[in-house]
């Protein structure tokens, strides 16, 4: 096409008989440059099809306009939606996001953070791996004076901004809803993982029972990995135990799905015999039969919020603002799987 080779501010400067400094200032809207010169520079830049070299700019200014984003997984609906939310905000401000997955593995996390620092990102947005108990790599980010925002999977060990949803509230709403539907023997699927979000869901479950005068029964709580198979297994055990139960609240949609399969195989009617509620609003929950009641975490919104916290921190880096913690409110999406009666 065109000559298509590198046009620099020097080319613009030469053409206008001014210096590169002036061009640079004009392009950046420096108030000390006259309107006339600015106009001329902009016009020439356009004519020459000038494209600023962000690399050079980054080297000199120390700002790459890159955000490193560390996620447990890229292609899970929850995380990919968060990524989308972050990108929306970041891109609109001229920033790029580089995403890398940890696959819940500490070494990967460390490697990724190191790569981010080497790429000289302007800061990091991250969700911590399920089994991560060491946070030195995150402290390195903070030690560099870079903003760090944690989302969903956070830790009190790090003194930094974070955004989470109110898992307690979500679980509480889910459980209360089941009680309102007349259920009194509500099983709960959870995990032993030392990760806050599941503890909170468990707490919400227990408190909702208490608040509504439903007796908590330890034998109705099942712990596993919250995958499809875990849900199947728990449900089989539940049926085999002979214990009465009229609902299951699973801390994950996948385990809830496993429960649905086993219940149907065993001739239980949902929700008539057993009401079912999951957690996370995985895309598939709308398409099960019956559709699964679940808790929406608003992942896109969470991503946007994380990005906003990030830019807050970035823009006030000098003043060392105190870390902010944002708690988003979840929403109970009521579908057929839990609707025993018309409401």
Partner DNA sequence: TTTGTTTGTGCAATCGATTGCATAGATAAT
Partner DNA sequence: ATTATCTATGCAATCGATTGCACAAACAAA
Q: Does 18 bind DNA (CB under 7 A)?
A: yes
CB 164 within 8 A of CB 151: yes
Q: Does 49 bind DNA (CB under 7 A)?
A: no
Give the ranges where the chain is alpha helix by DSSP (H).
9-16, 20-27, 35-47, 54-61, 77-92, 106-118, 136-143, 167-180, 196-211, 228-241, 253-265, 299-315
Candidate ranges 15-23, 128-136, 203-211, 212-220; the one touching DNA (CB under 7 A): 15-23
Among residues 17, 118, 215, 322, the one that binds a copy of itself under rule CB under 8 A: 118
| Residue 149: Cβ within 10 Å count | 30
Candidate ranges 51-59, 149-157, 163-171, 261-269; the one touching DNA (CB under 7 A): 51-59
Binding mask 66-105 for a copy of itself (x = CB under 8 A): x------xxxxx--xx-xx--x---x--x-xxxxxx----
Q: Rg for the chain (alpha carbons), in Å?
A: 26
Q: Does 288 bind a copy of itself (CB under 8 A)?
A: yes
Element (H, E) at 160: none
Among residues 28, 30, 143, 159, the one that binds a copy of itself under rule CB under 8 A: 143
Candidate ranges 59-67, 174-182, 287-295, 328-336; the one touching DNA (CB under 7 A): 59-67
Four-residue CA torsion sign, 293, 296, 300, 301: positive
C-alpha 339/C-alpha 327 separation (Å) is 28
Q: Does 152 bind a copy of itself (CB under 8 A)?
A: no
Nearer to a copy of itself by Cβ, of 93 and 325: the residue is 93
3-state helix, strand, coil in the chain (%, to 5): 45, 15, 40
C-alpha 141/C-alpha 149 separation (Å) is 10
Q: Give residues in contact with a copy of itself (CB under 8 A).
A: 1-2, 4, 51-56, 58-59, 64-66, 73-77, 80-81, 83-84, 87, 91, 94, 96-101, 114-115, 117-120, 139-140, 143-144, 257, 264, 282-284, 286-289, 300
Residue numbers at the binding site for DNA (CB under 7 A): 6, 8-10, 13, 17-22, 24-25, 27-28, 30, 32-37, 50, 52-53, 56-57, 59-61
């Amino acid at each position: 096409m065109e000559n298509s080779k590198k046009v620099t501010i020097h080319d613009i400067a030469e053409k206008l008989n001014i210096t590169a400094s002036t061009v640079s200032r004009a392009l950046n809207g420096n108030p000390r440059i006259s309107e006339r010169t600015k106009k001329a520079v902009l016009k020439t830049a356009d004519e020459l099809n000038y494209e600023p070299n962000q690399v050079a700019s980054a080297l000199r200014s120390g700002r790459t306009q890159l955000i490193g984003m560390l996620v447990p997984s890229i292609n899970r609906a929850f995380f990919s939606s968060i990524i989308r939310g972050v990108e929306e905000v970041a891109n609109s401000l001229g920033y790029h996001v580089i995403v890398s997955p940890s696959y819940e593995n500490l070494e990967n996390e460390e490697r990724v953070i190191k790569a981010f620092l080497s790429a000289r990102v302007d800061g990091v947005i991250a969700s911590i791996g399920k089994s991560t108990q060491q946070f030195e790599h995150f402290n390195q980010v903070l030690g560099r004076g870079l903003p760090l925002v944690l989302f969903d999977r956070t830790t009190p060990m790090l003194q930094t901004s974070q955004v989470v949803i109110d898992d307690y509230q979500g679980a509480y709403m889910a459980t209360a809803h089941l009680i309102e539907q007349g259920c009194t023997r509500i099983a709960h699927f959870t995990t032993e993982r030392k990760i806050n979000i599941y503890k909170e869901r468990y707490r919400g479950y227990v408190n909702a029972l208490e608040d509504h005068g439903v007796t908590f029964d330890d034998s109705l709580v099942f712990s596993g990995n919250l995958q499809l198979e875990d849900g199947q297994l728990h449900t089989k055990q539940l049926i085999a135990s002979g214990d009465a139960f009229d609902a299951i609240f699973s801390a994950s949609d996948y385990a809830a799905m496993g429960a649905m399969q086993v219940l149907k195989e065993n001739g239980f009617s949902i929700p008539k015999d057993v009401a079912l509620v999951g957690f996370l609003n995985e895309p598939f929950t709308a398409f099960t039969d019956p559709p699964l009641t679940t808790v929406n975490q608003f992942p896109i919104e969470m991503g946007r919020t994380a990005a906003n916290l990030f830019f807050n921190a970035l823009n006030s880096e000098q003043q060392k603002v105190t870390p902010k913690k944002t708690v988003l409110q979840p929403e109970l999406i009521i579908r057929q799987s839990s609707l025993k009666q018309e409401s």
